[in-house]
Amino acid sequence: MSDAASTPPGSYYQRHIFFCLNQRDNGEACCADHNAQKAFDRCKAQVKAQGLAGPGKVRVNKAGCLDRCAGGPIAVVYPEATWYTFVDEADIDEIVSSHLRDGVVVERLRTPHDVGR
């Protein structure tokens, strides 16, 4: 995984995960209400601890609304465009070890295609 040769052409990172951390003040459902910041922090720490962070490897980023609030909390991994819904630290750890490290999508955590806002 850490081999820069496996990075998609034209890409600076092999994989990029974005966590929606959006907070809505009007009472609408939002990822921030579902411990999205804690999940982001966990993912970032796990990626770093496993030596997966950096150019040619993995980047963990915050995002605003990804417009799939009904499935929240939400994260998306590129270049595969795999959308995830997660519940706890074990889910985050599985996404890191299976998808971000090994390139294997965690099917049980995939957000259904019809889930939107």
Q: Mind listing the pLDDT tens digit for each residue in 12-50?
A: 999 999 999 999 888 788 899 999 999 999 999 999 999
What integer pLDDT is reported at residue 72 of this predicted model? Answer: 83
Burial of 1 (0-12, 13-18, 19+ CB in 10 A): middle
Residue 24 Cα distances to 21, 34, 48, 64, angstroms = 10, 12, 30, 10
Lay out the sheet containing 15-20: strands in order across.
Answer: 58-63, 15-20, 74-78, 82-85
Average pLDDT of the residues of the chain: 91
**How far is 70 from 77, CA to CA, in rounded Å?**
18
Identity at 58, one-letter amino acid code: V
Predicted TM-score (pTM) of the model is: 0.89
